[in-house]
Structure 1
Amino acid sequence: MSRPYAEVIGDPIVQSKSPVIHGFWLDQLGLDAEYRKTLVTADDLPAYFAQRRGDPDWRGCNITMPHKLAALDHVDDRGDVRNGIGAINTVFRAEDGTPVGTNTDAGGFYAPLAGFDFTGKPVTVVGAGGAARAILFALARMQVGPVTLLNRNVLKAGVLLSSFGLKGQALPLSSAISPDTALLVNASTLGMAGQPPLKIDIDPIQDDAVVYDIVYAPLETPLLTAARARGLETVDGLEMLIGQAALAFELFFGAEPPRDRDDTLRDLLIA
C-alpha cells in the first residue's frame, strides 16, 4: 500500500542530511509518511518533475545543488520567487496537484539571527550562488548596513548585490575582510567535504562580530574553529539546515515539526 512521501533531490545527493531531519520528525509525530533522497542529474530534471506531477503520493521535494535555479523552469512560481530570491529550494504539491516552487532558505538563515540587531551594520558574505541569493534576500529585509560580497566572479557578485537593492561592494574572493564587519557569512560550498578550503583571515574583524557558516559537512569547519578560538559568536550550518527544513516539512506534511526536540535531532545529525 502506497503512502505519502517527500524527498530531496540533487547531484550529488549522498551527503544530504535532510532524510535524517524529516524522518526524525515523522517518527516523533507518528505520521504514516516517508522522506527519501533521490539522485537527479541536470539532464534528468525535466523528466523528474513530469513524472512527479502524476504521482498522487508525492508531497514535494527539497532541492540542493545544482538545481536551485534550474528547477524554477519546471514548477509554478505563484509567489514570484524568480523575481524575488531568484532560486528555489523547496517544491510542494498544491491542493490542485500542481508542483509549486518556494524558498525556505531565507527563513532558515534568519531564524538563528532573530535575537541580534544588525540594522545598519556592515556585513561580509562569501559566495554568490543559490544559497547566497536567499541570504542576501534575508539581509535586505534585516536592513543591514553595507554588504561586501566576496566571490570569484566579481561582476556576478556586483549584479547580485544590486538585484537585492543592497548597498556595498563586490570584491575578489582573496580580499581582506573589513575590520568593521559585524556579521560574516560563508554562503559558499568552500570548506565543505570534497570542496576547496575557504581561505579567509578573520583576525581583523571586531570582537563582537558573529560568524555564520552554512556548511554542515563537516559541521565544525575551519572558519568556525577560528572564530571560536577568537571567542566570537558563531552559527553553524545545522541551524539553517534545520530551520529551512522545518518550514518545508509543514508544506509537505501539513504538520508543525517538534522543534522542542532540536537537541536530540542535532545529536542524530552529528553522530
Structure 2
Amino acid sequence: MSMEKIPLAGVIGSPIAHSKSPQLHGHWLKVNGLRGHYIPMDISPNDLETVLRTLPKMGFVGLNVTVPHKEKVMEFADLVTDRATLIGAANTLIFRKDGRIHADNTDGYGFIQNLRENAPKWNPKAGPAAVLGAGGAARAVVASLLDAGVPEILISNRTRVRAEALKNDFGKRLTVVDWVQAGNMLEEAVTVVNTTSLGMIGKPRLRVPLDGLRKDAVVTDLVYAPLKTRLLAEAEEAGCVTVDGLGMLLYQAVPGFERWFGVRPVVDSAARAAALR
C-alpha cells in the first residue's frame, strides 16, 4: 500500500499573524474533503532563499507570498509568468515535481474577478478609471485594468514620483494627477479604486474629497478592515455601485489552491465568513 504524501501549502511574510489566508484555505480543504494543510510562516528576508529551497523537500507544493517578499521571491523562481513580470511581484508559488519553482501573480485576476462578480454591469471600456495609490497592489490593479480594456487610468499617490514610475512602466494610457487634486479625477471616472491603506483600521483616514463621484461609477476599496470603508459608504450614498475588498482576497486565492490541491474552490458566503473569522 503506497502512502500518499499529504500536500502542504502556506503563506510567507513578515509579519504574518494577521493573514486571513490560513482560515480561507483551511475552509476550502475541509469543504472539499481534501487531505492537506495550509500554514502561516513568519520568514525573515535573510532566510528567504533557504526556506524556498527547503520547503519542497518537506512536502510543500506551493506558497502564497505577502509583504515583504513579493518582489524578492522572483529572483529564486525558475519560471515567472508574464503577468508577474509585468507587475514586478509574485504572490503565488508552485513547487513543481521536477523541482522547479513557478512564480505567478494572481492579484490582478482576483481584483477583476471581484468586480465582475459583484458589479456584473461593470464595463471597463465605458470610461476612465481613477486609481488612488501607486504601491505593489496598484501595479497589479493597473495591469489588470489595462488588460480589461480601460481606455485611460488617472493615478494619484501621496508621493508623486511613485505614480510617475507606474506611468513609465505602463505607458501612455496613464495620467498622473497630483494628490491635492485627487478628488477632481473622480468627476471623469467610471471605475474608482483605492489601493492605499488609508481608511484601514489603525491607519490614517482617506481624506480625498469624494463629492465628485459619478452616480454611474463602480467604486471599490482594497481595504477590507473595515468591510465598509468611508469611501464605500460615501459612494453608496452617492448612488454608486460599490464592491468591498474582501472579494479580491478570496478570488486571488483560487488559482493557487487549484494548482496545489487539484480542486477549484468556490467563492461563496461560507468562504467569505471563513476569511472573516
Q: In the alignment, is the contact (CA less than 8 A) between 2:135 and 2:162 conserved in 1?
A: no
* Large movers: runs of 4+ above 4 Å: none
Name 1:207's counterpart in structure 2: 215
Match of 1:171 among 177, 197, 201: 177
Which structure features the higher share of helix residues?
2
1:81 Cα deviation (Å)? Answer: 4.3
Q: Which secondary structure does the structure 1 equivalent of 2:46 belong to?
A: coil
Query: What SS does the aligned partner of 2:45 have?
Result: coil
1:47 is the counterpart of 2:50: yes
Stretch of structure 1 that moved more, 88-97 or 192-201: 192-201
Identity of aligned residues (%): 38
Aligned residues: 268
In the alignment, does 2:139 pair up with 1:133?
A: yes
Distance (Å, rounded) in 1 between the aligned partners of 2:198 and 2:78: 31
Deviation at 1:120, TM superposition (A): 5.1
User: Is 1:28 the counterpart of 2:31 in the alignment?
Assistant: yes
| RMSD across aligned positions (CA) | 1.9
Structure 1 residue 80 displacement after superposition = 3.9
The question of 1:241 aligning with 2:249 is answered yes
Secondary structure in 1 aligned to 2:17? coil
Q: Which amino acid aligns with 2:57?
A: G
In the alignment, the residues of structure 2 paired with residue 166 and residue 110 of structure 1 have an alpha-carbon distance, to the nearest angstrom, of 21
For structure 1, which segment, 70-79 or 13-22, has the greater mean C-alpha deviation from structure 2 after superposition?
A: 70-79
Residues 115-264 of structure 1 aligned to structure 2 (within 5 Å): 115=120, 116-119=122-125, 121-177=127-183, 178=185, 179-259=187-267, 262-264=268-270
Unaligned runs of 5+ residues in structure 1 are none
Of 105, 108, 111, the residue aligned with 1:106 is 108
* In structure 2, C-alpha distance between the alignment counterparts of 1:67 and 1:186, rounded to whole Å: 22
Distance 1:195 1:98, change over 3 A: farther
Q: Which amino acid aligns with 2:257?
A: F
Give the TM-score normalised by structure 2: 0.89
Q: Structure 1 CA distance, aligned partners of 2:101 and 2:53?
A: 10
Q: Aligned in 2, Cα 1:48/1:189: closer, same or farther, shift over 3 Å?
A: farther
Contact 1:7/1:62, CA 8 A, preserved across alignment = yes
Over 3 Å counting, the alpha-carbon distance change for 1:8 and 1:160 in structure 2 is: same
User: Where do 1:80-95 residues align within 5 Å?
Assistant: 80-81=82-83, 83-95=85-97
Query: How far does residue 208 in structure 1 lie from its aligned partner after superposition?
Result: 1.0
Give the secondary structure class of the aligned counterpart of 1:95.
Answer: coil
Aligned-partner residue type, residue 13 of structure 1: I
Whether the 8 Å contact between 2:129 and 2:152 is mirrored in structure 1 is: yes
Q: CA deviation at 1:111?
A: 0.8
